[in-house]
Structure 1
Amino acid sequence: MTLRLSALIVARNEAERLPDCLAALGFADEIVVVLDRTTDASAAIATAAGARVIEGAWELEGTRRNQGIAACTGDWVLEVDADERVSPDLAIEIRRVIASSPFAWHQVPVDNYVGDRLLRHGWAGSFGTTSVPRLFRAGAKQWRAQRVHPGLDWTGKEGPRLQTGALIHLVDRDIADMLKRLDRYSTAKAKDLIASGNIGTLRGNLRRFVMRGFKSYVSRKGYREGAWGVLLAFCTGAFPLLSYLKARLEPRAHGAPEP
């Protein structure tokens, strides 16, 4: 029996990037596109490509991703963001794996680009990664109710990471775009911190700034990327510290109730 594969895209106003993302998913048996508070032409683009479109408004990233997973009808699901492209080699590897894997989920390798520059080293923490758990059996994956980088709950065992091809991730257009992403991520994380009732401490987040920056630059070999590695280390370390400072210094702006 041939197992069916669903490709899931969750996006918001990604009309510019969506066509190339969809074009690389022709190997899937089904494409589901979840559009969150989208006002551009994304719905028409996805429909024209043969995708099933679900539109709505979700405050939490985890909630909208779970909505998309629930809508998939395949035996396996591959999650792809609109700024990612499945390489031809990865597409072949995915079909091979789902045909024979006894496991519930697999990590997928990622090649990260800033503009047209491939940065192989230095990705760490919550600011970027070279491997993502995106290929999984139906029912195996559940996102937690958080705004940014929500946690995951799994059912079943993890299999080996896929070895051929990669998700081509167009992370940022340039340095300005990278810094905007840092601002956007830290704002969402500040809201999660306030909602949790525990924003942490200045001392703890200063320590995380240093440790995460060190991990990015040294442990993850960001130094191999030259000055780009310094920038990645800074952003990786700054993410939790900036999130904490926003939650502490501007609590009302990030969801804290009025006294």
Structure 2
Amino acid sequence: MSITALVVARDEAARLPACLASLAPADAILVVLDRSTDASAAIAAAHGARVLEGAWALEGERRNAGIAACTTDWVLEVDADERVPPELWAAIRAVTARSAHAFHRVRIDNYVGERLILHGWGGSFGTTLKPILFRRGAKRWRAQRVHPGLDWTGAQGATLEGERITGVGIRHELDRDISDMLRRLDRYSSAKAGDLLAAGDIGSLPDNIRRCLSRILKCYVARRGYKEGGWGLLIALCAGLFPLLSHLKARLEPERHR
């Protein structure tokens, strides 16, 4: 079964080379560039990738454009800050050769700098599993700015990871440091505020306070963020603040986020 590695990016010249090098085992590589002004197109071409350039207002729209341009049996959709290790490629090839399902979730190993953080991710601020390996035509993103929803045709199969040891999922270089993490929280909440305003429903302050507290507890306790010490607490706080900040931005500064 043939596989296209799909990368959707914008001005990612610094991170694309390592990402694309890790995708060499794919049968084809497609890089979708959204209004990029740096050397991303030249870097993609140098790695043998096909390049699709354009301008899309919503994350879901540009990802759907990339999926529609893939022609292989399967698609592996990764981001420019992700690396696929050889052990995982072996698992991907084995599963696509025999799978009767439409899509599979893949393990994600999230790094802050050089620190691997295994526990505590959630609340739209990070995940350890993503449905990124799928048959062509099985996946469609919804029209939203940040963390758009998904519509599927077909059933989910088994989760993919390499041998069951630390560090054999996709290496996701999520944040460089704490300041980078806080900047990401600011970007995500601004984009989500736009989605709330577009939907015409920003929710209520009491409901979002409850969501904030619930997400903090879920990430820190249920998802075992406490195992990561202060990092787990920081991640839980960011996950909890995401919906509350999004609501407050939409409520207090709607003109900046429409």
Task: Normalising by structure 2, report the TM-score.
Answer: 0.97
What is the aligned partner in structure 2 of residue 108 from structure 1? 106
The CA deviation string for residues 184-242 of structure 1, in whole angstroms up to 9 with x for no partner, is 00000000000000000000000000000000000000000000011001000000000
| Structure 1 residues not aligned, in runs of 5+ | none
Cα distance, 1:116 vs structure 2: 0.4
Tell me how far apart the structure 1 counterparts of residues 58 and 107 of structure 2 sit (CA, whole Å). Answer: 26
Structure 2 portions without partners, runs of 5+: 163-167
> Helix, strand or coil: the match of 1:6?
strand
1:227-242 equivalences under 5 Å are 227-242=230-245
1:66 and 1:178 mapped to 2: Cα distance? 27
Instruction: Give the distance between the partners of 1:220 and 1:11, measured in 2 at CA.
Output: 30
3-state SS of paired residue (1:234) = helix
The C-alpha deviation readout for 1:112-131, integer Å capped at 9, x for no partner, is: 00000000000011000000
Match of 1:224 among 219, 222, 227: 227
The 2-side partners of 1:223 and 1:166 are apart by 22
Partner of 1:22: 20
Aligned to 1:245: 248
Aligned match for 1:52, one of 50, 53, 69: 50
- TM-score, length basis structure 1: 0.97
**How far off is 1:159 after superposition?**
0.3
Alignment of 1:151-162 (within 5 A): 151-162=149-160
Distance 1:44 1:21 in 2: 14
2:64 to 54, 59, 66: 66
Task: Give the aligned residue type for 1:253.
Answer: R
C-alpha distance in 1, partners of 2:220/2:61?
A: 33
What's the C-alpha RMSD, in Å, of the aligned pairs? 0.5
Q: Secondary structure at the match of 2:83?
A: strand
Alignment of 1:198 with 2:201, yes or no, is: yes
Shift of 1:163: 3.3
SS at match of 1:240: helix
Question: Is 2:42 the counterpart of 1:39?
Answer: no
User: How many Å separate the matches in 2 of 1:163 and 1:68?
Assistant: 24
Match of 1:88 in 2: 86
Q: Choose from 189, 204, 216 the match for 1:186.
A: 189
Distance, in Å, in 1 between the alignment partners of 2:3 and 2:230 is 41
1:148-178 CA distances to partner (integer Å, 9 max, x unpaired)?
0000000000001013131100000000000
Q: Give CA deviations for 1:78-108 in whole Å, capped at 9, x if unaligned.
A: 0010000001111111011100001000000
Distance 2:216 2:142 in 1: 26
**Equivalent-residue separation in structure 1 for 2:156 and 2:128 (angstroms):** 17
SS at match of 2:25: coil
- Cα shift readout 1:50-72 (whole Å, capped 9, x = no counterpart): 00001111110000000000011
